[in-house]
Amino acid sequence: MPETMLTFTHVPQSQPDKRTVADRRADFSEIYRDFASSQARAQSSRCSQCGVPFCSVHCPLHNNIPDWLKLTAEGRLEEAYEISSATNNFPEICGRICPQDRLCEGNCVIEKGFESVTIGAVERYITDTAFERGWVQPVRPRIDLSQSIGIVGAGPGGLAAAEELRRRGYQVHVYDRHDRVGGLLIYGIPGFKLEKDIVVRRWRLLEEGGIKFHLNTEVGRDVTFAELRARHDAVLVATGVYEARDIGGPGAGLRGIVPALDYLITSNRKGLGDAVPSFDDGTLNAGGKRVVVIGGGDTAMDCVRTAVRQGAASVTCLYRRDRANMPGSLREVQNAEEEGVHFAWLSAPEAFYGNETVTGVRAVKMRLGLPDASGRQSVEVVQGSHFTAGADLVIKALGFDPEPLPVVWAQDALETTRLGTLKINPRSFQTSLPGVFAAGDIVRGASLVVWAIKDGRDAAAAIHSYLAQTEFAIAAE
């Protein structure tokens, strides 16, 4: 073992420095500073190079993490980038937004007393360095094939599939309803986690590689799904899930109670320089307001931290379970608490006060009960524990469901599951329609960006296999 490794016994864990809370609250720039080269090498050297790397096992992409940590520790950054990018189309994005505390870092075999290796920040450092030094180049297929693939959705799953298919030489066309590439990467995730020039940089690189983007193009409005199928040899559906789950109860229809994605898209568009009437008239602007966010996932964390930066008078997060049982990243909770967010744990909304516009949320305290069928502790109401949280803006961050695509696209033969997601053959990624494939959240439900990338890569391989078999069958006739 090289002397540069196994230093976890005397080198402490270190994350990149954060900007001060006052600075963070004042803008939407990323909160973490860049690793210096010496810091990245030192943190990489803490890897134990274990025989069973659980960090890789628990990464959806099965990234070869110990390999690129070792190369980084030895100063061989170009090789580290080659290893990192071999399994991940967008390592600079995953290094910023993946919940490493629940995935790779959370499964590091180094004893907790020594603290896990700082994997995400090193991944970001490797790829940012690769971009700075010109090592990241657009895809250049060795041959161009005549077959074309249409991809519906320019989010992480669709983009990963597009790059993989273009690498094999196919003519790739990506259709998206928005005016920019990236999906939730550009419109859903705030800049303090992922600055938008990072996404735009990838977009331009994909265009240079020959991928054609058709923006402001909504399937079912600007082009029919039948036309897409006729236009391309195969179609991949990677639309994601955008239908916000709602909340009932008295007063749920009052003005000022809004879906999380509407709020985040408005904020991101404003940050991108767009004219956004719903922000400027105050409808989706938290400035000066008492904000209550309902939910405990990463989207809820994005909302509370966005409200802080918009100058909210106060920001409260209502979540019906406790801190240990919330689905969002605990690292994001810590960041939110540092920035002044109040968390009302074990609290659930029951009703909303106000005449025409919301003025408060009536909530009740909860307690954890016995595990349910999923193994997760159930929640029970604590009788007589009602309280009121004043609110001028209530943001619902309760998760997302798929749009009814068979109805929207007039494709009755497109089968869905009982949850409304598209039904596919898990081996071939093919839907009930021949030559139509699906991947990402539209298949698995709302999930992580890293899972969308994984699904996009696997779907691209399945499409390649399908087209190769089709060509063979035609040639044999």
- Can you point out the beta strands (E) in 117-189? 148-152, 171-175
**Nearest in space to 188 (alpha carbons), one of 80, 244, 267:** 267
Q: Does CATH number 3.40.50.2000 belong to domain 246-396?
A: no
Q: How many helices (H) and strands (E) does the chain have?
A: 18, 15
Fold for the domain defined by 148-241+402-476: FAD/NAD(P)-binding domain (3.50.50)
**Under a CB-based contact definition with an 8 Å cutoff, are residues 126 and 84 in contact?**
yes
The predicted pLDDT at position 476 comes to 54
pLDDT digits (tens, 9 = 90+) for 131-159: 999 999 999 999 999 999 999 999 999 99
**Under a CB-based contact definition with an 8 Å cutoff, are residues 187 and 269 in contact?**
yes
Judged on CB neighbours under 10 Å (0-12, 13-18, 19+), 1 is: exposed
Specify the CATH architecture of the domain 7-132.
Orthogonal Bundle (1.10)
pTM, full prediction: 0.95
* Residue type at 459 in one-letter notation: A
Domains 7-132 and 148-241+402-476 share a fold: no
pLDDT at 160 over 60: yes
Strand, coil or helix: 243 = strand
Strand, coil or helix: 134 = coil
d(CA 205, CA 264): 26
pLDDT digits (tens, 9 = 90+) for 50-92: 988 999 999 999 999 999 999 999 999 999 999 999 999 999 9
Domain locations in the chain?
Answer: 7-132, 148-241+402-476, 246-396
The predicted pLDDT at position 1 comes to 46
Q: Which residue has the tokens 């329609």?
A: 433
**Nearest in space to 193 (alpha carbons), one of 299, 60, 119:** 299
Contacts of the segment 328-334: beta carbons below 8 A, 24+ positions apart: 328/99, 328/296, 328/297, 328/298, 328/300, 328/301, 329/99, 329/101, 329/102, 329/298, 329/301, 330/101, 331/99, 331/100, 331/101, 332/99, 332/298, 332/301, 332/305, 333/301
The predicted pLDDT at position 372 comes to 78
pLDDT band at residue 475 under the 50/70/90 scheme: low
pLDDT digits (tens, 9 = 90+) for 305-361: 999 999 999 999 999 999 988 888 889 999 999 999 999 999 999 999 999 999 999
pLDDT at 40 over 90: yes
* Residue type at 265 in one-letter notation: I
